[in-house]
Structure 1
């Protein structure tokens, strides 16, 4: 059974929705790139981290507050991509897990490019854990939003019940029920049925003639 979105004769995301998602995605990526690549005034920078989970372990060792702040910031950095990337496809990239795989791959590539560009800025440092956290945040956002996105894209409006329309009957059609009633009454009553005369009835004329 195919589902059709409201206002669209074919299933899937309409071109307006996809164009709007692409525009929002472009604006967001440009804003994130500007924030990530602008030079900072610092005295020194730490070396780049290429060991997975090394920075995450160091943040956890600093205490729960520091861990929540840094890990949460890394996960929230590219969260909108988990919602906007599926909307670029007409069918949200396929089923839930197919769409998740495509979204995570595209989001991971965007995060990888940002980290590579950061390594070219003297006051910035590339960190592989940032890619891990960004990708994980995109995956969580996709899983949380996929159901609502599917309901939005493949929404089928409920049919409104039709009200009965009162039709004006012609004089002939209006008189038909009354004619039918009279015909049924004639059939029900019918002609009277007379029984055959019995012995008493045969003697009745003789008695009347004798009395006369």
Structure 2
């Protein structure tokens, strides 16, 4: 697996900025989702996948966007911040996407499970699905352009120095074995 170079200053800056923004984002998400709400009644927990999404889609386009949009956008920045903070921005292929989406899913699951103890909040499996879809969409939309930007700013990869000639020891040069052809 190819990661950005560990000794590169620019890489360190990108990773440090990504980690700082990741911690700030998760702090805001925690504050928004884990503080108690005083509401007159609390709906029952939704454990049926796609039930809330179907109900929102039946309301019309603007109401659908207003009810599903916040769940899609809440954890979407993780799709960019996780690869940036972990140094997986330059990793190509399915590995980085899988890692990012799985981590986003686990963060969303942790938030949903922690909300069960918060007054005024309930578990909704559709929010878990929408949060994960938001992480995947942000990754697919933003990481490839960022990858190009980072690699352009870094320049071409490190050039390897030519191998050093072997030093002759006290016994002289190393013996060479002539190639022998295959007999008929």
Would the TM-score normalized by the shorter structure come out above 0.5?
Answer: yes
Larger radius of gyration: 1
Q: Which residue of 2 aligns with 1:106?
A: 103
The worse-fitting range, judged by mean Cα deviation, of 144-153 and 110-119 is: 144-153
**Which residue number in structure 1 is paired with residue 127 of structure 2?**
130
Flag the structure with higher helix content: 1
User: Is residue 93–residue 102 contact of structure 1 (8 Å, CA) maintained in 2?
Assistant: no
Answer yes or no: is 1:76 the counterpart of 2:76: no
Aligned residues: 153
Normalising by structure 2, we get a TM-score of 0.75
Q: What is the rounded CA distance, in whole Å, between the counterparts of 1:68 and 1:105 in structure 2?
A: 25
Q: 5+ unaligned residues in a row in structure 1: which ranges?
A: 159-212
Seen in structure 2, the aligned counterparts of structure 1 residues 91 and 60 have a Cα distance that, compared at 3 Å, is closer
Provide closer, same or farther for how the CA distance between residues 18 and 92 of structure 1 changes in structure 2, counting only shifts above 3 A.
same
TM-score norm. by structure 1 comes to 0.66
In the alignment, which residue of structure 2 is the partner of 1:22? 19
**Structure 1 residue 61: deviation in Å?**
1.8
How far residue 66 of structure 1 moved from its aligned partner, in angstroms, is 1.4
Ranges in structure 2 where 5+ consecutive residues have no aligned partner: 157-184
